[in-house]
Amino acid sequence: MDTRNERVSRALDTLRIELPSWGFANTGTRFGKFLQAEAATCVEDKFSDAAEVHALTGACPTLALHVEWDFPNGIADVGSIRTLEHKYGIRSGSINPNLFERQEYKYGSICNPDPAVRRMAVDHLLESVRIARELRSRDVSLWVADGSNYPGTQSIARRIEWMEEALAATHAALDPGQRMLIEYKPFEPAFYHTDIADWGMALLLARHAGPQAVVLVDTGHHYQAQNIEQIVVWLLREGLLGGFHFNDRRYADDDLTLGSIDPYQVFRIFHEILSAGAKAGEVAYMIDQSHNLKGKMEAMVQTVCAAQELFARAALVDRAELARLQDGCQLVEAEECFRRAFFTDVRPAVRAWRVEHGLPEDPLAALRASGYVERIRSQRAAANARAVSTYA
């Protein structure tokens, strides 16, 4: 029988977690920004920070990129991104179009009643596909912020048609092996109706678009107390679970550090994925967090370490025993079998895996001891100070 350490080691060998470029930069709420002196000020800073997190955790070889923010010149910036990939040993991950910042998108992007705006949005999506192709990135990840705030002000039915047309055009541009991930969110910035409000809408849109379209689940994009692992099981069963944007939430899309509020939920999600026998890489694990109060580097290392520990716990569930107890409707025994894995202290096994792979036993302590944060703070402080004066 495999030892606990062997099971944890095999699980962690398969776990890859994509970092978000925007998670290293200054971000804020709709009320304002609290800028950090060490925040990334350019895309090279983001690659540098991602490389440091990967060196500490051994789990993050790719960096998700945002087209408007990381490609200010569009596809013309692909060459410079390739140079950064080579310099820092970090590959480009998912390519994320921006369908929410332009003034033209006030009434929507791909669902805008103005056909010229819809064309602009589709052109942006097609350029994002080309960027992904040039960088050999498998996934183009779409979050569509479109919606409306007041009943009767928009035709929900016509907007579905426009959305289907845009997604079909984007899907048609994909190369074999590429995927289009469709994300959903129940509200914000739209508060009456969001055009892709839940996993069922995303699933139907993916099916309509074509076989290379799948669903992206953001753990913060659900109503309170929604059973996300049940959604995960349905999407796995339908072959349409493309990946996750991992974060944690207390009220809505709070973008809190993974596991800081409900680590049991993340454990339950990982358990269902492992129970389904999903192969490594079939489900993309991506972080989508923006930190205004925590140090960005520390928060990112915290998140990856939390994900590794929760994934390791999920790997320890005795699934054969659990199935036997479930079939016998032995409720207490089944729950205790499940909970036993969750409450296992896997930290010694995770530390052993890190030592085996030449990684620091405690990545957060290693980050603090490395002087990296102090170094980037001194290098970037002036640029971030200028950003403060600009924002004010």
Residue 235 CA to residue 243 CA, distance in Å, equals: 10
Q: What is the pLDDT of residue 391?
A: 41
Phi first, then psi: what are they for 314, rounded to 5°?
-65, -30
- Give the alpha-carbon dihedral of 306, 138, 7, 54, to 10 degrees: -50
DSSP label at 76?
A: G
Whether the bond into 363 is cis, omega within 30 of 0: no
Q: What is the pLDDT of residue 187?
A: 96
Q: Is residue 301 predicted with pLDDT exceeding 80?
A: yes
323, two tokens: 């199935």
Least trusted range by pLDDT, from 116-120, 205-209, 287-291: 287-291
Contact 258, 218 (CB under 8 A): no
Q: What is the pLDDT of residue 32?
A: 78
The residue written with tokens 């930290």 in the block is 347
Q: Is residue 299 predicted with pLDDT exceeding 90?
A: yes
Contact 273, 283 (CB under 8 A): yes
Q: What is the pLDDT of residue 388?
A: 61
Compute the average pLDDT of residues 115-131: 98
Compute the average pLDDT of residues 27-49: 90
Q: What is the pLDDT of residues 76-94, one digit of tens each?
A: 999 999 999 999 999 999 9
Listed in sequence order, the residues at least 6 apart from 227 whose beta carbon sits closer than 8 Å to its beta carbon are: none
Mean of per-residue pLDDT scores for the chain: 96
Compute the average pLDDT of residues 117-127: 98
Q: What is the pLDDT of residue 279?
A: 83
Nearest to residue 62, comparing CAs of 70, 50, 74? 50
Nearest to residue 20, comparing CAs of 242, 255, 251? 255
Q: What is the pLDDT of residues 133-162, one digit of tens each?
A: 999 999 999 999 999 999 999 999 999 999
370, two tokens: 């490395």
The residue written with tokens 């791909």 in the block is 110
Say which residue, 278 or 46, is predicted with more confidence.
Answer: 46
Q: What is the pLDDT of residue 59?
A: 98
Q: What is the pLDDT of residue 330?
A: 98
Residue 261 CA to residue 252 CA, distance in Å, equals: 12
203 CB-contact burial (10 Å; exposed 0-12 / middle 13-18 / buried 19+): buried
Compute the average pLDDT of residues 26-48: 90
Continuous segment of H or E residues that includes residue 313? helix 296-315
Nearest to residue 380, comparing CAs of 40, 25, 53? 40
Q: What is the pLDDT of residue 386?
A: 84
| DSSP secondary structure letters along 213-273 | EEEEEETTSS-TT--HHHHHHHHHHTT-EEEEEE-B-SSSS--BPTTSS-HHHHHHHHHHH
Class of 4-391 in CATH = alpha beta
Q: Is residue 22 predicted with pLDDT exceeding 70?
A: yes
Compute the average pLDDT of residues 295-322: 98
**pLDDT band at 1, cuts 50/70/90?**
low
Q: Is residue 281 predicted with pLDDT exceeding 70?
A: yes
Q: Note the Cα 309 to chain centre separation in Å.
A: 18
Compute the average pLDDT of residues 11-31: 92
Listed in sequence order, the residues at least 6 apart from 153 whose beta carbon sits closer than 8 Å to its beta carbon are: 192
Q: What is the pLDDT of residues 207-245, one digit of tens each?
A: 999 999 999 999 999 999 999 999 999 999 999 999 999
- DSSP β-bridge partners for residue 63: 19, 92
Continuous segment of H or E residues that includes residue 217? strand 213-218
Return the number of other C-beta atoms located less than 10 Å from residue 357's C-beta: 13
First-residue to last-residue Cα distance in the chain: 62
Residue ranges of domains in the chain? 4-391
Residue type, position 139, single letter: D
| DSSP secondary structure letters along 154-172 | S-HHHHHHHHHHHHHHHHH
Compute the average pLDDT of residues 107-135: 98
Give the C-alpha distances (Å, rounded to integers) separating 304 from 18, 217, 347, 390.
Answer: 9, 18, 13, 33
Q: What is the pLDDT of residues 255-264, one digit of tens each?
A: 999 999 999 9
| Model pTM score | 0.96
CA angle 84, 88, 91 (to 5 degrees): 70
